[in-house]
Amino acid sequence: MLTLEMLMRPTWAEIDLEIISKNTSIFRDLLDDSVELCAVVKADGYGHGAVEVAKRVLTSGATWLAVAFVEEAAALRKEGVKAPILILSEPRPNEMEEVVRLGAIRPAIYTKVGVDAFSKAAEEDAPVHLKVDTGMHRVGVRPNKAVDLASYISESGLQLEGVFTHFAVASKPSDSFNRKQIELFDQVLEDLTEEGHVPKIVHQANTAATLEWPETHHSMVRVGIGLYGTEPSKFFSERFKTLGLKPAVWLRSEVSHLQTVESGEGVGYGHRWKADKKTHIATIPIGYADGIFRGWWDGGEVLIGGSHCPIRGVVTMDSLIAEVSESVIVGDEVVLLGAQGDSFLTVSDVAELLGTIGYEVLTSLGARVPRRY
């Protein structure tokens, strides 16, 4: 009898939790003992599996977790994850009761509407984290309104446990706007202290800032992309190598079909690529429905037998085609991200090819690609 695993196509993402554990320990070692490490596991752990990642990082130096939405926190609680969880965006008023029910959830707060909703749902002195917009201009209270909202939080019977902000251009450390945000946040903290609002937890640093500016570590840092071994930008490539931070994901498949096209024959939709000679090609059962961007074909490669094989024709929904040597056979392993022999295809390499960032490459891996640990 065929099992479900036997029926599944030979395409999967292989996640090395031991590497994530080592990456977490490396970041932990960069911090003073008094500074806590918050592991960002939103977007299903950047495509690596939030539950599995959360359980591993909490045994490797992280003491907090951060997610984007209430449902992400609920999924972690359902699987027995008990660590405090920060929700990075203010939950909607109708979600506040669920926030309370889940327990040990810290909502970001940046509006009076949010304060009113949470104070109504929660017990007195329930902790919240005030999010300050120092220049990202996505969400958060403006710096000149931070003291007023902090006072409103206290008057509403809630505890201002934390204050935080987020960098807009930390992936470019030389950008002067980083220093502006640091100074602006420091001023907000000073203003809050003068008015008697002294949060227990102050957090500002993301992966890039954790590496670049120790003065932004405060009492906690929030590390996301770095835990998964992908640098925020090419600027950090050498630093990652020096520290020993490594990618934790391999995206693998197999050759499912082989054929030969003659000179002048087109391949794929629109015949965007045509053979200029007799060419051996392989079909690989993974496509843009799985997170392989359609434009990956233009300069993109896969690894087969340790060799870089160029993608030919546009990536389709369920498959792609690569030019291969005559020695390739059906069933040969294909690597789309990761190492094979002495050859590598990194997330950053693919992101650069596509004109995007590693975050998007990782979080685009589709749900129908099984994760193996």
Which residues are annotated as catalytic?
42, 269
Q: Which residues contact 18 (CB under 8 A, 6 or more apart)?
A: none
Give the closest residue to 209 by CA, choosing from 244, 248, 249, 236: 236
317 with 324: CB under 8 angstroms? no
Buried b (16+ CB within 10 A) or exposed e, 97-115: eebbebeebbbbbbbeebb
110 with 149: CB under 8 angstroms? yes
Q: Which residues contact 174 (CB under 8 A, 6 or more apart)?
A: none
- Packing angle, helices 177-194 and 146-155, rounded to 10: 40
Give the closest residue to 221 by CA, choosing from 207, 231, 234, 233: 207
**Residue 250 parent element (H or E):** strand 249-254
The full DSSP string for 107-141 is: EEE-SHHHHHHHHHHSPTT-EEEEEB-SS--SSSB
The rounded distance, in Å, linking the Cα atoms of 302 and 276 is 20
- Give the pairing type, strands 320-323 and 279-284: antiparallel
The residue assigned the tokens 């992101």 is: 351
Task: Report the sign of the C-alpha dihedral through residues 83, 84, 86, 92, in that order.
Answer: positive
DSSP, res 83: S
SS3 58: coil
- What is the widest separation between alpha-carbon atoms in the chain? 77
